[in-house]
Amino acid sequence: MVLPITANINSLGHLEIGGCDTVELARQYGTPLFIMDEATLRGQCRTFMQAFGAKGIEFDVVYASKAFSCTAMCQIAKQEGLGLDVMSGGELYTAIKAGFPMDKVLMHGNNKTPEELALALDNNIGRVVVDGFHELELLDKIAGEKGKVQPILLRITPGIKPQTHSYIQTGQIDSKFGFGLQDGLAMSAVKKSLELKNVELKGLHAHIGSQIFELGSFAKAIEIIMEFVKQIKDETGFVAREFNAGGGLGIQYKAVDEPSTIEEFASVVVDGVVREAQHLGLPVPKIMVEPGRSIVANAGVTLYTVGTIKEIANIRTYVSVDGGMSDNLRPMLYGAVYEALLANRAQEKATTMVTVAGKHCESGDILVRDIELPHPEAGDILCTPATGAYGYVMANNYNRQPRPAVLLVNNGEARAIIRRETFEDLVRLDASIE
């Protein structure tokens, strides 16, 4: 079972995280409920910083806030010395309200609006990662109107197709992201950037996908990008001083998963860049990486209350809970697979094969399929681990379901860092026509 580092079973047989009894948290705060373990979050941040720091090069670890964004998470990243990657005006505004240093923020997105770019420039954002020619010219225009020169990276698609779900592959030729190498658009973007007066090209960015176990894809992408850096130098004289290798390091969702370690990832990235730079006669650039899932996923769990149990003889037993696709869309969107346990009966032997179903009016609203649990009963507290990434941030109000609260737990203390939505919240933006 993949649980936060502080998880254990207490004397009552209850799952405990961060020194807090999860069954008591469910009683106090209600369910569905996200729980984030602060020790795991900070531990992952520190492991990334130490792994890259040990390599003796100039680097930035930039937290990809799309994985889990809120004021408190931005503040944790800031306190641990990380930068921040945002891809929308909302994520940027959250960083601003969290007091995040703007010079350590990078803005992504394949279709940034004029309003988002203006907000970024008004707050002196560190880097804009430019994704297309329209954006490049728009950014130059807005920066000129504001009397600024905006530092940028260019997002390059290296033509790498890693082994992961097709929805989270981003480095292949057929991608909505970035400037392609094969069709010459990447070089055209470099030359255009160097011509413009209100942007300053600092380097290149390449993110090939997410939830990647095989590090060879990263090594190949680095080789391709560094060869392109040499080509740029030969054709224009410009030397890229920054290289952002993106994120995508896979994590454990199930006990049988065997992802690479953070240290192995750091070695592949840094050693690859240094080796290629030396081979090509280039200076070693500042190296950036953008972990998101690998920082927050295993820090989080979701709690549900079991309700209806439907047994279909010789076919399946459905255990329905009080959440589902409105708080965890990934099983429906990607076919993501999770484990589960009963938090209030954590020591009991699993004896019954069940399928955990959500409460929404979709047959596909299945959270966990065909898993063994102790014989479930209505009122049990069911826990799905590894929901810290792309859980709350993808939560929605389908069937007018309020989004859950998020608790941060540490040393026996639980703090609500995102409050639960109420029915009143659901109608707050509605307008009556009577």
Please state the residue numbers annotated as binding site for pyridoxal 5'-phosphate.
248, 290-293, 390
Binding residues for substrate: 293, 330, 334, 362, 390
The residue written with tokens 């737990």 in the block is: 409
- Quick count: other Cβ atoms within 10 Å of Cβ 256? 8
Other beta carbons less than 10 A from residue 18's beta carbon = 25
DSSP code of residue 175:
-
* Residue position matching structure tokens 């948290």: 25
Please say if 361 is a catalytic residue.
yes
- What CA dihedral angle connects 15, 19, 23 and 29, to 10 degrees? -140
Burial of 278 (0-12, 13-18, 19+ CB in 10 A): exposed
- Rounded to 10 degrees, the C-alpha dihedral 177/180/186/189 comes to -50
For residues 339 and 301, is the Cβ–Cβ distance under 8 A?
no
Pairing assessment for the beta strands 300-312 and 316-321 based on DSSP bridges: antiparallel
**Which residue of the set 20, 45, 361, 383 is catalytic?**
361
Per the annotation, binding residues are 248, 290-293, 330, 334, 362, 390
Residue positions annotated with a catalytic role: 361
